[in-house]
Structure 1
Amino acid sequence: MKAHKVKKDTSNLAILIHQASENFTQAERRIAQILFASDLMAGLETVAKLGAKAKVSGPTVLRFVSKLGFTSFPEFQACLRAELYQKLIYTTPHDSDHIADQISDNQAMSSVLKEADAFFENCMHRTLQRVNACELEEVTELLADVSRNLYVVGGYFTSPIAELFWYHLHKLRPRTHLIQTNAFKPHEQLSDTGRRDILLLFDICHYQEEIAILAEQAHQKRSTVILITGPKLSPVSRLAHHVLTCDFALFASHESLVPCLVMVELLAVSLEKKLGPEVILRQQDMQKEEQRSKAKHFFPRPA
């Protein structure tokens, strides 16, 4: 079948890839993930090296660039080089934003605020730019299947994010479970999972062996694995059915989880829209149950 080509807008390859993403196969999506994970720099590699990084064949790489509207891989690389060159020319050094931030405390705080404003805006933009619309839709479809058990787990760095996401999901759908790392051993909490269950993992930097073991366990039980990771891709990505990446960078020397929060909020909103009226009914039932519990007096009141 003839590949579907999109109209080329060579001013922004990231946008071009997103426009074509609805026609990508799963293998072609992995190429897009590798490109976004490297800020498109992986596109300067040879066909063989790019294919090896994405674990796809050379012909798959060529079909990928064809779907972007390019007649050859060299044409794609020429466009990429031109775009990277323009970014290099028009990038303003960050040092110019910190000319005299040691003059006074007020000026120092002003500098921090300016730096934070630029940093958080950029990292959130890059996170949303990396999201593949088709991948987001497929993940949302899975989460919206309320007949499936959904297990959520994070590592020692991302466990607060996993807990927050579980809180969102619990209000939206039943059969949502948070795997506790400080109670039973995590793998014991997955002992009864099967092929219709879902394991959603957070593994962003500081990769942990325990997370990889859980992914392997779910994979062996033929459960669906959804991974939320950083641009460099967790080792768990080889076992995941769906991979969503969020930008991970340092704000000064601080490791920011803001991009991960963006991903959590995005998935929660997407799921809420997908479930529609079911969410309202569930939340009304939960409120009624809470009111009934408060109305009961389990202990006698003092006379």
Structure 2
Amino acid sequence: MATVRETIRRESANLTVSERKIGDAVLADYPFGALQTIQELADRTGVSAPSITRFVGKIGFAGYQEFQRQLIAELRQSRSSPLQLKATEKLGSADAFLADYSRRAVGRINEMSKSVPQEQFDRVLTLLADPARALFLLGGRISDNIAGFMSAHLKQIRPKVHHLPANPEFWPDFLLSIRKQDVVMLFDFRRYQRDLATLAELVAKQCRPSIVLITDKWMSPIARHSDHVVALPIENETAWDSFICALAFVEALIVKVSESNWPATKQRLEALDRLRLLSWGQHLEEKDDR
């Protein structure tokens, strides 16, 4: 089922100027921007309450209350833990679980290929492939593994790649070096981490780099501070959300960044290989001496 955010964006071309203003206000602080009375939303946007009623009707809701109920349901889903997801999981046949799970994974990747426009992928790629821009990557408690995977590969391809430490105590050291032309790439999936949202807000206000968020359809709060938001499928009908799409998206970026200037990538890889061989040879000599 499409989220309210997706529905508003899909119907944007059919909205009047006033209705588009309402939609922009809802999306600017999603989903909290519409979890207030209809009059409060009217006062904030400068449109009438009847205009808001017409807006929610045009995007498919019977009334403002139904519209808010959907937003509240999405908010609950965004905070679902494995304990809540366990109640609705559909594991299928135990005798062929691996094959069934593989089909689900392929289904999620196919879904991603349809929901993430090539133009959005290309915009993110352009940022990451620019050697003049320093890259700073960080993820949440689980998703930081993907940020680490990406940074380890990109460090072989281009300079100025930094995987931020998980401990916030070390963040100020990196914040001092982030410039406006740089890129901060954050991974945050449900249940979202408050410290990452705090970091994004601080970076947006103090450093003003390009912020790229990789998240899910319910949208991390980091979205309100981001220049580029990539929403990926994560539901897999089990108690555990899947990061298969995040990994596939990252791998695709790694391949294309390496190809954006292959001669430079090749030169860097050759230099790294020489240094590794020298380091390994020295290690063997020291071992022989002992």
Verify same fold: TM over 0.5: yes
- The 1:184/1:55 distance shift into structure 2, 3 A limit, reads closer
* Residue in 1 that maps onto 2:218: 232
CA deviation after TM superposition for structure 1 residue 190, in Å:
2.1
Matches within 5 A, 1:218-257: 218-220=203-205, 221-257=207-243
* Residue in 1 that maps onto 2:138: 153
2:103 is equivalent to residue 118 of structure 1: yes
* Residue in 2 that maps onto 1:167: 152
* Residue in 2 that maps onto 1:109: 95
- The C-alpha deviation readout for 1:175-231, integer Å capped at 9, x for no partner, is 101011148433443232121221110011111111112111221211111111111
- The 1:39/1:116 distance shift into structure 2, 3 A limit, reads farther
SS of the residue 1:218 aligns to: helix
* Residue in 1 that maps onto 2:51: none
| Contiguous gaps of at least 5 residues in structure 1 | 1-34, 57-72, 79-94, 102-107
* Residue in 2 that maps onto 1:177: 162
- Separation (CA, whole Å) in 1 of partners of 2:91 and 2:229: 36
Please say if residues 37 and 233 of structure 1, whose CA atoms lie closer than 8 Å, have aligned partners that are also in contact. Answer: no
* Residue in 2 that maps onto 1:134: 119
Please say if residues 90 and 237 of structure 2, whose CA atoms lie closer than 8 Å, have aligned partners that are also in contact. Answer: no
Please say if residues 187 and 217 of structure 1, whose CA atoms lie closer than 8 Å, have aligned partners that are also in contact. Answer: no
- The 1:38/1:109 distance shift into structure 2, 3 A limit, reads farther
Q: Pick 1 or 2: higher relative contact order, CA cutoff 8 A, min separation 6.
A: 2
Question: Which is richer in helix?
Answer: 2
Please say if residues 227 and 240 of structure 1, whose CA atoms lie closer than 8 Å, have aligned partners that are also in contact. Answer: yes
For normalisation by structure 1, the TM-score amounts to 0.65
Matches within 5 A, 1:292-303: 292-296=278-282, 299=286, 301-302=288-289
- The C-alpha deviation readout for 1:138-161, integer Å capped at 9, x for no partner, is 211111111221110001021111
CA deviation after TM superposition for structure 1 residue 117, in Å:
3.1
Q: CA RMSD, aligned part only?
A: 3.3
- The C-alpha deviation readout for 1:80-136, integer Å capped at 9, x for no partner, is xxxxxxxxxxxxxxx9995xx4xxxxxx222x2343133112111111212222222
CA deviation after TM superposition for structure 1 residue 38, in Å:
5.9
Counterpart residue identity of residue 194, structure 2: E
- The C-alpha deviation readout for 1:55-90, integer Å capped at 9, x for no partner, is 49xxxxxxxxxxxxxxxx9xx989xxxxxxxxxxxx
- The 1:274/1:215 distance shift into structure 2, 3 A limit, reads same
- Separation (CA, whole Å) in 2 of partners of 1:219 and 1:279: 30
Identity %: 23
For normalisation by structure 2, the TM-score amounts to 0.67
Provide the aligned length of Structure 1 versus Structure 2.
Answer: 226
- The 1:241/1:51 distance shift into structure 2, 3 A limit, reads closer
| Contiguous gaps of at least 5 residues in structure 2 | 30-54, 61-88
SS of the residue 2:178 aligns to: coil
- The 1:96/1:233 distance shift into structure 2, 3 A limit, reads closer
* Residue in 1 that maps onto 2:68: none
